[in-house]
Each structure stands twice: as C-alpha cells, then as structure tokens.
A = this chain, B = another copy of it.
Amino acid sequence: MSRKMLYRHAIREALDEELTRDENVVVMGEEVAQYNGAYKVTEGLWEKWGCKRIVDTPISEAGFIGMGIGASMLGIRPVMELMFWSFHSVAFDQLVNNAACVRYMSGGLINVPIVVRGPANGGTNVGATHSHIPEGLFAAFPGLKVCAPATPADAKGLMKAAIRDNDPVYVMENTLLYGTEGEVPEADAGDHVVPLGKADLKREGSDISLIAHGRSVIHCLAAAETLKEEHGINAEVLDLRSIRPLDQEAILETVRKTNRAVLVDESKGFGGVSAMVSHLIQEHAFDHLDAPITRVTTLDAPAIYSPHVENEQLPNPKRIVDKVLAQA
C-alpha cells in the first residue's frame, strides 16, 4: 500500500519516524526548528518534538557540524541540515577530516554516526556560490557515504538508512524536487528503508543506458520518452541513488545489456560522479561498449544567475536527447 506524497514530506516522515525510533536522533541546523526549515522539510517537527530534539543553530556551519560529530562519538545521532549543501565550503574541515578520518586515525575505536543533509543542486537562479553539486567531491573521501535520492520514496527510504547507518552519510537533496510528488509506501506497511549502495532501474530499455542520480534521473526519464516517441530509441534509465557505496554491478549490467551509455550528472565537466562511472564502465565492460561513453554535465562555468539561461547550463531532457542521438 502506498500513497502520494511530496518529496519534502517524505523526508520529514523519515525524520519523524527515526526521531520516534531512537531517542538519540537529534535534528539540527539553521532555521530547522522555529522557522520550520528554509525549505519546510522539517515543518512541524519542532512543535512536535521540542527544543531538545529539533535544534536551531547560529550561522556557524563548522561549529555546529563539528559539534554534532563530537556528540556522535558519544552515541548521539545528529541529523544536520545544511540550508544549502553549498555551504559545505565553510565546514569543509569538519566534513572531510573529522567526520571521515576520526575512525581511521583511532584505529577503529570511534565511529561517527551522523547524517548531513540538505539541497545540492542548480536550477534555482541563486548563483555560483549557492549552486554547488558536491556528490562526487565527498564520495572521493573514503570514510564518507553519499546518496542523492530522485523520488519521494527513495528520499524517505535512503534518509532512514542514512540515519541508521553507523558511518557518516551525506544526503544530497534537491530544492527542485522538494515539491514533486510520488508514491511512498504507507507508514504502517513496515519500515520503508532503501539501503545505501543499491541502484534502481527506473526504466527498462534495450538501446542505450542513461545513468544518473538526483534530479538528472527525472530528466533522463523525460528524455527517454522523447527518444522512444520521436526516434524509436528505447533507453534504459538507471538511478544510482547512492554514490558511495556505489552499485557497480547494476551499472555494468545495464551497459552489458545496451552496449552504450550516456552519463548524466549535474556536476561540472571536470570530474564529478560521471567521470568515475565512466572509468569503471570502460575498465570493467570494455568489450561491451559499442561507442565511447559520453556525458551530459553542467556547462563548465560557475553557475549563472540568469533565469533566461540557467536551464541551458544544466543537464536537461533536450541536451540528453541530443547526446544520445549523437552517439546512436
């Protein structure tokens, strides 16, 4: 049984359920409590759970994220919101050193069961500093886990997995998905947990594999429809969901089936998740490739503000279709 639900509400439900399940779960961040969250993801939680469990912080990302890491070493399970994931830049040391390395440097004596979450995307005309897409950046640090849900159901399920995971998990949401709707299993139908490390075949196809995560998955699905209707091309769409751990098997499987891949990634062209996926495919499915792997990424400049052109800087269905046609 399932019901329709907004992406933001699916995340809120995950938080609410985990707050209920484990008294050590605490939600922190700027404006998450009394203001209900800048993007209303935490709406109502402060009213329900009070000041101890839902905590407003000052604008001190290094301070409060480090604080959460420290508390997590004592068994607290902070779920910390970055109002934008872009603000990772002022908390970077805490995110990549203290969270990622403390376990290792202590020879495994410590673990850091934190979640850091918030939106990580372009497309809302907020300019260069507010539009970073850091999935690949963080996945590059062993010790960290990263996921990026594309649908309400995945958002809920991955968030619950992230909170229960005993390692630091960085959940990259998307402001443009918060208001999208999708089927989510009923709360009383049992725990809806989507494990980290499991990709999801969002559309079956035979001619080419579109591999993506986050909002790019939605673009791929739209592109696949156009390809089918206008060009008779049957594209398969694989949603990575989780970047680290990464479902390499699912990636190789779809490529072995279609023998072609277009990777869609909101990162800029140098690096990103897609460069890594490309390398893995050519390394492990070399003989299955009928053509070079190509990518659709964000045009390689800082994010432009202008609403007139920002969508053209980002991956979009048209750019995906063009890239597929160029290959096929």
Chain A positions within 8 Å of B, measured between CB atoms, are 88-90, 92-93, 96-97, 100-101, 104-105, 127-129, 132, 136-137, 139-143, 244, 267-268, 270-272, 274-276, 278-279, 282-284, 286, 289, 291-295, 300-302, 304-305
CB distance from A102 to the nearest CB of B (A): 9
Q: How many angstroms between the C-alpha atoms of A270 and B280 in the bound complex?
A: 10
Taken together, the copies of this chain in the complex come to: 2
- Closest chain B residue to A131, Cβ basis: B101
Report chain B residues within 8 Å CB of A89: 92-93, 96-97
Choice from B88, B92, B140, B284 contacting A272 with Cβ under 8 Å: B140
Given A97-B89, A271-B271, A271-B275, residue A142 in contact with residue B300 (CB < 8 A) = yes
B residues within 8 A CB of A142? 268, 270, 300-302
Decide if the interface of chain A is mainly helix, strand, loop or mixed. helix
Instruction: Knowing A279-B278, A302-B105, say if A267 contacts B128 (CB, 8 Å).
Output: no
Q: Which residues of B contact A286 (CB under 8 A)?
A: 289, 291-292
| Besides A97-B129, A105-B305, 7 new A-B residue pairs in contact (Cβ under 8 A), listed by A number | A92-B92, A105-B127, A136-B271, A141-B268, A278-B283, A282-B282, A284-B292
Contact B101–A271 (Cβ < 8 Å):
no
A52 to chain B: closest CB distance in Å?
Answer: 31
Give the contacting residue for A140; candidates B88, B267, B283; CB below 8 A. B267
Task: Enumerate chain B residues within 8 angstroms of A141, measured Cβ to Cβ.
Answer: 268
A183 smallest CB distance to B (angstroms): 32
Are B267 and A279 closer than 8 Å at their CB atoms?
no
Flag if A279 contacts B268 (CB, 8 Å).
Answer: no
Nearest residue, chain B, Cβ from A130:
B97
- 11 A-B pairs in the complex with CB atoms less than 8 angstroms apart: A89-B92, A89-B93, A90-B92, A100-B302, A105-B305, A142-B301, A143-B301, A271-B272, A275-B279, A279-B295, A286-B291
Chain B proximity of A31: nearest CB distance (Å) = 20
Of A104, A272, A274, A275, which is in contact with the most chain B CB atoms at under 10 Å from its CB? A275
Once bound together, how far apart are the Cα atoms of A201 and B271, in whole Å?
24
Contact check, A140 vs B268: say whether CB atoms are below 8 A apart: yes
Min CB distance, A38 to chain B, in Å? 19
6 A-B pairs with the lowest CB-CB distances in the bound complex, closest first: A89-B93, A92-B92, A101-B128, A104-B302, A140-B271, A278-B279
Residues of B within 8 A of A137 (CB): 137, 140, 271
Cβ–Cβ contact A282 & B275, under 8 A: no
**Nearest opposing residue in chain B for A299, CB measure:** B142
In the assembly, what is the distance between CA of A300 and CA of B141, in Å?
Answer: 8
| A292 contact set on B, CB distance < 8 A | 282-284, 286
Minimum CB–CB distance from A278 to chain B (whole Å) comes to: 4
Tell me the smallest distance from the CB of A314 to a CB of chain B, in Å. Answer: 14
